[in-house]
Structure 1
Amino acid sequence: MKNRMLRSIGSALKGFSIILKEERNFRIQNIVAIIVIVLMNIFPLSIVEKGILLLLIVIILVLEMFNSIMERLLDIFKPRMHAYVKDIKDIAAGTVLISAVGAIIIGVIIFYPHLKFFLTFIKR
Structure 2
Amino acid sequence: MRDLSDLMAQRRPDVPTMDNFPPEVGRRLRLQRIAFKWRQADLAARAGVSVQTIKAVEKGQAVSSWNLLRILLALNQGADFLSMLAAPHFPNLKAHEQYVQLTGAKEPNVLGRRVRSTPATAKKKSEKA
**Same fold judged by TM-score > 0.5?**
no
TM-score bucket (shorter structure): 0.3 to 0.5
Instruction: Considering fraction of residues, name the structure with more helix.
Output: 1
Task: Tell me: higher relative CO, structure 1 or 2? Use CA pairs within 8 A at least 6 residues apart.
Answer: 1
* TM value normalised by structure 2: 0.32
